[in-house]
A and B are shown apart, each in its own frame.
Chain A
Amino acid sequence: MAVPLGAFIAVSAVLFSIGIAGVLVRRNAVVILMCVELMLNAANLALVAFSRRGGFPDERGSVFVVFVFVVAASEVAVGLAIVLSAYRNRPTVDVDEIHAMKG
């Protein structure tokens, strides 16, 4: 008995849901960034798993994972920069309190 493809997809779906839940319910901006990273990771897992579908590996799925890595690195750098500059204007990282469109 080998692990079927569906099991990987299911884990990926559960991880993605956890990420969405974290983004929707947590107040701390840094934790929200972490949850976005979890969602990207879930997408990576699904991409790699599907690129292995049907017994003949096709690396084009993995290439997209490499691009997701690039996007994730840019996202976390810019995201943290935004959190830090927002914190500099108002001393809070609570997303419910950061609602002004201008500082």
Chain B
Amino acid sequence: MSYDLVGVILFAVLAIGIVGAGIGVVLLDRITASALLMAFTFLNVAGMFVLLGAETIAAFQVLIYVGAITVLILYGVMFTPQRERAYALFFQTQWPWAALVVAPLGIGVALVGLSFRDRATAVPAGGDLDALATSIFRDFAFPFEVASVLLLAAMIGAIVLVRRDD
């Protein structure tokens, strides 16, 4: 048994988890189950990042997506009514057209993607932390500062939008 084989098995498990949970998010009627499956998808994508040798990105992924975004979305689920409805009203009216567009697109892009034969498991020695930090704070320092302004703007915007005028 070699480590390569372990990598392939892990990849298969994670891929099945991602695709299965993603389909579940779209098709399940219970919004709570959708939210949980979304968090599960995020965790599996984090696992993919670890397979690719990007453990810092994986940690950020769990910290931001599972710890913050899923919790926010759960708050959204709690604050809006989720009553049971007839299954006919579950999808929007244009769902056949959407399926017609999406299915060839997805299959096409996946086929193009499969044509890349390079090894993807070139794990950098000593982790990706140093290289990532150097890149962000040296080459991308200005975009990084702009991103913090974006976060501030989003925070203020969200507060203004949901504030009640007493």
Contact = CB atoms under 8 A, between A and B. Distances in A.
A3 B22 contact: no
Interface of B: 4-5, 7-8, 11, 15, 18-19, 22-23, 25-26, 31, 34-35, 38, 41-42, 45, 48-49, 51-54, 56-57, 60-61, 64-65, 68-69, 72-73, 75-77, 79-82, 89-95, 98-99, 101-103, 105-106, 109-124, 128, 131-132, 134-136, 139-140, 143, 147, 150-151, 153-155, 157-159, 161-162
Contact of B25 (A34, A52, A69, A76): A34
A25 B76 contact: no
Contacts, number: 275
A76 B140 contact: no
Interface in A33-86: 33-35, 37-38, 41, 44-46, 48-49, 51-57, 59-60, 62-63, 65-67, 69-78, 80-85
**Complex A-B, nearest 3 residue pairs according to Cβ-Cβ distance, in ascending order:** A17-B106, A9-B113, A74-B154
Given A3-B11, A96-B92, A83 B132 contact: no
Given A30-B76, A38-B41, 12 more contacts: A1-B5, A7-B120, A8-B48, A9-B114, A10-B113, A37-B65, A52-B53, A57-B128, A70-B150, A77-B72, A78-B154, A84-B76
Contacts of A67: 143, 147
Interface of A: 1-22, 24-31, 33-35, 37-38, 41, 44-46, 48-49, 51-57, 59-60, 62-63, 65-67, 69-78, 80-85, 87, 91, 93-96
A78 B115 contact: no
Nearest to B19: A14
Contacts of A66: 57, 60, 132, 136
18 contacts: A3-B7, A4-B117, A9-B110, A14-B110, A24-B102, A37-B42, A48-B48, A55-B119, A57-B131, A60-B135, A62-B54, A69-B64, A70-B151, A73-B154, A81-B157, A84-B76, A85-B161, A96-B93
A52 B161 CA distance: 41
B48 A30 contact: no
A94 B154 CA distance: 24
A26 B57 CA distance: 30
Contact of B122 (A16, A18, A56, A75): A56
A18 B19 contact: yes
Contact of A17 (B82, B103, B119): B103
A3 B51 contact: yes
